[in-house]
Structure 1
């Protein structure tokens, strides 16, 4: 059997989630958290 057909994509998934979390964290830090508080209060 050829193992390259059924390769795991967990590495790509982890990197994608990590980058998304980093962008969210930087956005939160640079925005001061105020837009997040407004969005939570509005919902």
Structure 2
């Protein structure tokens, strides 16, 4: 049972990371790389 919970947790983590990367990529495509660099630095 612990293995099932662990796999589920990693699945949620992976989806969150991929989703966040997708949002950042879309923001970069629409706003331009300079804007994202400024946001990431602050």
Q: Structure 2 length normalisation: TM-score?
A: 0.68
CA root-mean-square deviation:
2.1
| Structure 2 gap segments, 5+ residues each | none
> Which structure shows the higher helix fraction?
2
Larger Rg: 1
TM-score (norm 1): 0.67
Deviation at 1:26, TM superposition (A): 0.3
- Give the ranges of 4+ consecutive aligned residues of structure 1 lying more than 4 Å apart after TM superposition: none
The total of aligned residue pairs comes to 37
